[in-house]
Structure 1
């Protein structure tokens, strides 16, 4: 259980921060940038929830919790030492990826196939979900970049990859089942 009695600690005043294993790194390190972008994504999901209802809101709530799990996973770099940790580190699981895939398949099953690229927009919820999609893609790119030189749980990258797809399909579903998608018209303004 986390207890936060004091919000500021002054420990980061010189530009570094503590990771989940206690190591201190620069606030601009690739790892901090990756989990910071995940936190940014989580905030955008919170904005999307302002206009979401019912099952969509419940799904976004689950995703917000998963994103906190994912941030906790990314902030704990020493995966080889998980067994020796004082408490079991939180890691994203393949089952979380599988859940997203199942939800994508369910939502996509009721949508007409795309015959054009679509522009971000339509309903307010769809527009917010498209923002979430693009931030999820950035978080994925940053996590892949991090994995090129540091250990990263492979399920983190898979989750972010599926999550951006989830947001895309959810945006279409939120556009009246895709009927209100804004279609790209190549060269329309030439």
Structure 2
């Protein structure tokens, strides 16, 4: 029973599912930004103005504006702001945003597809991880150019995570790249061992 569960919920399957949903949902999120509306609920009141006649009547309330709808983060406004700094108009910003979103959706579909196919499965997995790392690398360069340190931290973290998972996949799913990596690693470790064990000559 435990063996069946371990095989069903293998580490590789969980990792691939995570990245598939990660890219798919992130890509779709860029197409669903919600709408910017005032939050008029009583609990959202920021401040009030009281009437000066001593009756403590509220004559003015300040409420925040919030994004409402199916969304993770409103990328439209953020991307437009980035491109405004370069003097580029809104349409160019949105075109780039939706192009990136389409790439993310394709990557997500490729990850999920690899869960259900046996033909060239390992090659698809390795390729999608390489593309993922390339995308995060590109995002990081973009963040540096626009001075967004929070996004740089986030994309840099995901780049490291994708690299770790890629190496794990290489070891778990052997192939030509694994053999090369294994050979290089073995050579380096052997050199280090020989250096440590080398007798000292006085």
TM-score range, shorter chain: 0.3 to 0.5
TM-score by length of 1: 0.38
Pick 1 or 2: higher relative contact order, CA cutoff 8 A, min separation 6: 1
- Give 1 or 2 for the bigger CA radius of gyration: 2
TM-score by length of 2: 0.36
Higher helix share: 2
